[in-house]
Amino acid sequence: MKVLIIALALAAGTRSLVTRTAPCCFGLTASGGPGGSVGQLVDGQNRFGQGLNAASYCIGSGAITDSSGRGCILTPPTTQFQCDVGATPTSGFSVGCDGGLEANGSAKFVACPTEDNGGYNIYTAGPANQQGCVAITLTADNCKTGCPAPPPAPAPTPKTCSPELTGNWE
């Protein structure tokens, strides 16, 4: 019986590992500020609020590529989220159980206006001296695992009655 339980535990662990590292493709939606579907310029800049067609991305082993095979990076020094030809994708990305995109464990992103048809560029930290930036979150429309149910509330402590009755009673 112990052997069966160990084998099942190993199989479940292996399945979880494959799910996390196997590529999964998704689209992104920005929430906060103006929000909207995330698209791309022809050069791979990820933007929203500009009427661009929705972009498609794939994540595997913590790295993102776009549908054109470009590696998605956080450009130094501004941390702009974009996908460049020939770039090695930045590692540390993940899709949370609720679909939230995270970079290095943080779901906080910043969108700053581009002055180009109402578009917003996406950063992990707003560039210095940039006006009009807003905090956003990015949500993947696929690749989420579903959050585990919260633990049940603790049972109420039973009230105890005194074995001796004192005072007036019926």
> Residue 8 phi/psi, 5° resolution?
-65, -40
Per residue in 77-136, pLDDT tens?
899 999 999 999 999 999 999 999 999 999 999 999 998 888 999 999 988 888 899 999
Model pTM?
A: 0.74
Q: What pLDDT score does 113 carry?
A: 94
Give the per-residue pLDDT at 152: 87
